[in-house]
Structures are given as C-alpha cells and as structure tokens.
Chains A and B, each alone.
Chain A
Amino acid sequence: FVLTQPHSVSESPGKTVTISCTRSSGSIASNYVQWYQQRPGSAPTIVIYEDNQRSSGVPDRFSGSIDSSSNSASLTISGLKTEDEADYYCQSSDSSNGVFGGGTKLTVV
C-alpha cells in the first residue's frame, strides 16, 4: 500500500494545522501509524507513535488520530511555533517492513 500526504502546508504562528496521511489500500486501522519530524539538515525524530501516543519530550501541542471513514491518519499541531517548521512523514507497516508517506513540508509564516 501507499501512504499519500499533501506536498506542503502553510499556516501562521499560533494557529492550528492538520497534516493528512491517506492509505491507498487496506484499512488505516489495520496497522499503527507513526509521525516523524525532520528539520532541515537533521535526522528525523519520532513525534507520534501508535496512532496517537506522543514520544517522550514532545509537547502536547502535537496530537495524532486516525479516521476510518476517510482511511487516513492525521497529525495536528496547535499553537504553531516557528520551530515547528519542518518536514513531517507518516509511517505504517506491512508484513515485516515499514512504509513511509511522501512527506509534507510545513511552513510557519
């Protein structure tokens, strides 16, 4: 299966943004979804695991969810800060391996 994300999103500081991740085949609920943040020039870090669990040290402005009706997962970031500007990737698994979405570039302006 393929995970499809919007190429880019843009929002102002203090606002809320949601990034989607749509699964092409099979149920989004069948396998957990993770979200990773990658700032320019840095390695990725995990933000959300198992659909909605925040990784250690991640502020509660970040939240994850899944929606079976649209077969998609979402990452929501509230109270946007300029430091949130980064690429975000969703990831799920099939038998024995992982699958990444194409990534979404978040611009905070």
Chain B
Amino acid sequence: EVQLVQSGTEVKKPGESLKISCKGSGYSFTSSWIGWVRQMPGKGLEWMGIVYPGDSDSRYSPSFQGQVTISADKSINTAYLQWSSLKASDTAMYYCARVIAKAIDHFYMDVWGKGTTVIVSS
C-alpha cells in the first residue's frame, strides 16, 4: 500500500525556522515526484511546489518561490518543506502528496498524506 506519513503539529513563533517531513512507503520513492500543498484556515488548496527525490530537482509555484525550500533525502524516503523565518501568515495545514508527472505540463496528485498543522503565533 502506498503511504505518505507526515510529521506532527508544530507551534512556532514568528522568525523561527521549521522543517516538516513526509515519509513515503509502498512504492519506489525515487521514481515519483512529491508535492506540497498549503491550505490556510477555511481556504482552498494552493500548489506550492514539487521535488523529484531521484535527483533532488525541485520546482516552485511563483507564489512560493523564495519563501520555502522543498527537498528530499532518498536514503530515508523522506521529503521536506522548510522555512528559514516563519510569519504568522504561514499558519496553515500542509499536505504532501505523490505526484504523477506524465509530461512537463501534466501533473496530478494521486496519494496524499494526512497533513501537518503549522501554527505560527507570538
């Protein structure tokens, strides 16, 4: 069974750094992209970016370029989403998902993690 297990809830202060994780199992982790999606409280889904664990190639949506870093460690089948300086506006649920990429302009997410809640408050 394909599974993505995300790290637990984080409560941080503005200005702090954070790295959340997403561990894949049940499939070839290095052969599929992993994506991250933000969902702010009461709002819709936002595509943040993707990483290919096989070679650590990463792509960012314009809104998130420079705001976060997406990475992966293929030795432990884990992808990461990190911030160097959190803001209150980063408070949200963050989902990782396996990305099926059939072409340079054809991506979709077929298996999702349960989400990581990030709360940033002073």
Contacts and interface: CB of A to CB of B under 8 A. Distances in A.
Interface in B23-61: 35, 37, 44-47, 49-50, 59-61
A45 B105 contact: no
Contacts of A44: 37, 45, 95, 109, 112
A34 B108 contact: yes
Chain A CB within 10 A, most for which of B44, B100, B104? B44
Given A96-B59, A97-B60, A45 B45 contact: no
B43 to A, nearest CB: 8
B114 interface: yes
B105 A46 contact: no
Given A43-B95, A44-B95, A45-B112, A97 B107 contact: yes
Given A43-B95, A43-B112, A97-B61, A102 B106 contact: no
Contacts of A94: 105
Interface in A35-49: 36, 38, 43-46, 49
A103 B44 contact: yes
A68 to B, nearest CB: 17
A95 B110 contact: no
B4 to A, nearest CB: 9
A42 to B, nearest CB: 8
B45 A46 contact: no
A102 B112 contact: no
Contacts of A36: 45, 109
Nearest to B93: A43
Interface of B: 35, 37, 44-47, 49-50, 59-61, 95, 100, 104-110, 112-115
Interface of A: 30-32, 34, 36, 38, 43-46, 49-50, 55, 87, 89, 91, 93-103
Please give me the 10 A-B residue pairs with the lowest Cβ-Cβ distance, nearest first. A103-B44, A98-B47, A34-B108, A96-B59, A43-B112, A100-B45, A93-B107, A98-B107, A97-B61, A102-B44
